[in-house]
Amino acid sequence: MPIEKHILNKNDTRAFLEATCLDLSSSDLTINTIIEDAQSWQKEVHCLSLFAAIFLERQSHEGGNCQPLVDRIYGLEDKMCFSMNECDPDFVEYLLRNIRESGLPMEEILTDILTRYSNYDRSKTIRM
Mean residue pLDDT of the chain comes to 84
Measured CA to CA, the distance from residue 85 to residue 52 in angstroms comes to 10
Domain shared by 26 and 55, yes or no: yes
pLDDT at 119 over 80: no
Residue 71's Cβ-count burial label (10 Å; 0-12, 13-18, 19+) is: exposed
Residue 36, in any domain of the structure: yes
- Type of residue at 115: T
What pLDDT does residue 128 have?
A: 40
pLDDT band for 102, please (50, 70, 90 cuts): low
Q: How confident is the model at residue 106 (pLDDT cuts 50, 70, 90)?
A: confident
Same domain as 34, residue 10: yes
Position 127 scores a pLDDT of: 45
Query: Is 38 inside any structural domain?
Result: yes
Say what the pLDDT of residue 126 is: 46
**Is 16 found in the same domain as 77?**
yes
Task: Give a yes or no: residue 127 inside a domain.
Answer: no
Q: In the predicted model, what is the mean pLDDT of residues 83-91?
A: 83
- Tell me the torsion sign for CA atoms 28, 29, 32, 33: negative
Q: 93 with 67: CB under 8 angstroms?
A: no
29 inside domain: yes
What are the C-alpha distances in Å from 119 to residues 14, 23, 81, 108, 114? 23, 30, 15, 17, 9
Do residues 20 and 76 share a domain? yes
Range of the domain at 100: 89-122
In what helix (H) or strand (E) does residue 12 lie, and over which residues does it extend? helix 10-21
